Structure 1
Amino acid sequence: MSKRLSFHRLTPSLVPLLLLAAGCSQGEAKDDAAKGSGGGGGRAPSVFVGTVATASLSDRIEAVGTAVANEQASLNSTVNERIESVRFADGAFVPKGAVIATLLQAEESANLGVQSARLKEAELQLARLRQLQAQGFATKARIDEQVAAVETARAQGNAVRAQIGDRVIRAPFSGWLTLRRVSPGAIVTTGTPIATIVDYSRIKLDFTVPELLLATIRPGLAIEATAPAFPGETFTGTVASIDPLVDPVTRAVTVRALLPNPQLKLRPGMLLTVELSGRPRQTLVVPELAVLGQGGENFVYRVGQDNKAVRTPVEIGIKRDGKVEIRSGLSAGTRIVIDGTVKVRDGGAIRPVDPQAARAGRPQKAAA
């Protein structure tokens, strides 16, 4: 009760102070409102604007491939024999048909002499029988028998010549031989490698691309390849063929390209980085900073009437050199916000600024 009486006694003295405080608060609020309306706090944000442009683009594919020789073969012995001579130097170029090495063939040569003599004898006997037949002293059956003997002798001689041919290792095509690993006098068995011949005047380059890009790849498409061994140098070629089978595990297909190699810089087995372009086209592009994403949607802010920002959904394509391809949603020449999008909201007012004029230091005026 005493506290209640004390409150009533203080109330008359506090009333003027409370009224003064309330008046100050209302004044500050009015000042703040005035500052907000006239001090710049509610002004439209300044943003850089540009127009939707057109540019030439193409799908670019990058892959890693392995260089393969145009032709390569391992020259192996087909018999068990001793090497008689080796007729090539390490890394030497040899034309097609050149003798690479010979194996001993003394026994086969002697056998060939025997078969040649038998053939000659059989042919002479056949000639005498034909003379006798003309005189009526030889039957047709006897002539046929001797003809068969001649053919048999000839076939036996050819068989011996084939055995001798197996002991002469020849180049199946023109190319370069690898380092020599056999010497005269060494005994080789069936399947022993004598040398490897490589034709790398043209390189086959095998690489894989995802099946989703199959529509971009076609025979004759130009490619560019680079090798770590030759920094700064580009090797050009064309797509030669596409494997008809798609790997069901990687969902990729193997593509083979051909690269001329006149200076023989590229070697089989080298790792190359491949780049190729497909589907060249004229398309719409905008700066990459102009495109925003939310959820699964991409959009830009288009400059609408009275300089109002209009959120516009777009379908984008590839990105290249700071530009984004626009497949749908905009047309050429449309004005859009290209920088400062974080300050923009859909339907909000903006102050368009020309980037080129801003870089030049010229004053800007808001477009009507």
Structure 2
Amino acid sequence: MKKLLYSLSLLAGSALLLPACSSDEHSKKTETETTQTASGAAYQTIPVSVETRAKQLALPGEFVPYYDVALYAKVNGFIKSMPVDVGAKVQKGQLLATMEAPELESDLSRTLSDLTAAKGRLNISKSNYRRLQQAAQTAGAVAPQELEQAHAVVMGDSADVNSQQQRVAAARQMKQYLMLRAPFNGVVTERILSPGALVGPTQKDAQPMLKLKEIGRLRLQVTVPEVYAGQIRQNAPVTFSVNAFPGKTFTGKINRISYNVERSVRAELIEIEVKNPGLQLMPGMYATVGFPVQRQSKSFYVPKSAVVVSMEGSYVIAVVNGKTHWITVQTGNESGDQVEVIGSLKPSDRVLVKASDDIRDNIAIQTVAEPSIAQNHE
């Protein structure tokens, strides 16, 4: 009897323990699944630094040609010859390509023939008019109406001659269009078509024959953030450096100001005219431009690695309540491994130290704080 009671007690205890163990294992499993889903790696964050730094503003710029044109055929025809190729330095008015169009030659010949015939008719009508004038000196020899009719014929033939002369001039001008000439001094940067190609304005999907750029002078274009736009002045001196020439500093001045802040980037476009006689600088090169402006108010600084530059623009990734928030910024002064950022930031914001465009907006991530960089540094 005692053995039976003892066995029943053991069975009851086991039954009570089994649900507890099952519940505990389920809790641990759920916790592990949640951690894996929500985090992965933990990202380091750092607060933005609020500082006042009196340094020259450095902004990126890009060189573009002073003039840039794609040259198309103005009349229909075939390319006969093209004596220039990529890299050719050409002068204004230089022949770049010759086309042939037999129908234009025919038009010119026809208009010349029509002009010759019109001149012949005018000579005859003038001769008749002069004879009638001489005969009219004898009273009653020529009726006044006949004389007026002869004069009207002379005027009509004269107008016809003028019309034919204009047609000849137009035909000659059309023939001139068979010769493609350089509209300015420059360099041929692309040759799209070759001799034998059919060209003309009536062709479907017409292509340019050549692309010509003036690079003896360049435009250095820079977008200046809105907060600095009021400090930019016409003809103010600037310095700039180019990655292709490390250690070399170039000088220039602000030649053109757009006086327009683009809403998409909240920045103003300015241009610096750069003389380039040796053709060392080329369109498409980037430059770092220093402007004689200084920030008198406090600015936000973050590590350079915190700024993402992608197709969506430049931004930092702030973390609020465990979720990412892209904040569009523009960069300004650089100091060591830090860069000034201009955007909708607050001193209390924490941003990812190492941001990338792989980290999407409005997703939950795990973070770990990094030691703060100096804040409110005067």
Inter-partner Cα distance in structure 1 for 2:179 and 2:199 = 13
1:290 corresponds to: none
1:70 to 44, 66, 72: 66
Partner of 1:121: 117
Aligned residue pairs: how many?
229
Structure 2 equivalent of residue 159 of structure 1: 170
SS of 1:111's equivalent in the other structure is helix
Higher RCO (Cα < 8 Å, 6 or more apart): 2
Instruction: Give the corresponding residue for 2:371.
Output: none
User: In the alignment, is residue 219 of structure 1 matched against residue 234 of structure 2?
Assistant: yes
Query: Where do 5+ consecutive residues of structure 2 fail to align?
Result: 1-52, 133-146, 297-332, 337-378
Does residue 252 (structure 1) correspond to residue 267 (structure 2)? The answer is yes
Call closer, same or farther: CA 1:148–1:319 in 2, change over 3 Å.
closer
Instruction: Spell out, residue by residue over 1:252-291, the C-alpha distance to the aligned partner (whole angstroms, 9 max, x if none).
Output: 1111111111211111111111112148xxx9xxxxxxxx
In 1, the alpha carbon distance for the partners of 2:240 and 2:179 equals 40
Q: Does 1:192 align with 2:207?
A: yes
Cα distance, 1:230 vs structure 2: 1.4
Equivalent AA in structure 1 for residue 186 of structure 2: G
Match of 1:173, SS state, is coil
Normalising by structure 1, we get a TM-score of 0.57
Q: Letter of the aligned partner of 2:251 in structure 1?
A: T
Residue-by-residue CA offset, 1:148-170 (whole Å, 9 max, x unaligned): 21122122212322322332211
CA distance in 1, matches of 2:118, 2:334: 83
Larger Rg: 1
Quick check: 1:84 aligned with 2:80? yes
* Mapped partners of 1:268, 1:240: distance in 2: 18
Q: CA deviation at 1:79?
A: 3.6
Residues 1:112 and 2:123 are matched in the alignment = no
CA distance in structure 2 between the aligned counterparts of 1:108 and 1:320, rounded to whole angstroms: 66
Closer/same/farther in 2, CA of residues 319 and 256 from structure 1, 3 Å limit: closer
1:243 aligned residue (239, 258, 277): 258
TM-fit CA distance, 1:111: 1.9
Q: Which runs of 5+ in 1 are unaligned?
A: 1-56, 284-317, 322-368
2:56 aligned counterpart, secondary structure: strand
Letter in 2 for 1:225: F
* Separation in structure 2 between the aligned mates of residue 277 and residue 112 of structure 1, nearest angstrom: 62
Residues 1:319 and 1:201: Cα distance change in structure 2 (over 3 Å):
closer
- What secondary structure sits across from 1:193 in the alignment? coil
What one-letter code is carried by the residue in structure 2 that aligns with 1:266?
L
1:221 is displaced (CA, Å) by: 1.0
Per the normalisation by structure 2, the TM-score is 0.55
The residue number in structure 2 matching 1:150 is 161
- Counterpart of 2:277 in structure 1: which amino acid? P
Matches within 5 A, 1:1-368: 60-136=56-132, 139-190=150-201, 191-278=206-293
**Which residue number in structure 2 is paired with residue 48 of structure 1?**
none
Partner amino acid for 1:145?
G
Higher alpha-carbon deviation: 264-273 or 186-195: 186-195
Counterparts of 2:241 and 2:54, CA distance in 1: 20
CA distance in 2, matches of 1:319, 1:112: 67
Please report the RMSD computed on the Cα atoms of aligned residues, expressed in angstroms.
2.7
Alpha-carbon offset, residue 64 of structure 1: 0.8
Report Cα offsets for 1:106-131 as digits up to 9, x if no partner.
22112212211211221232233223
Partners of 1:58 and 1:277 within 8 A in 2: no
CA distance in 2, matches of 1:276, 1:110: 62
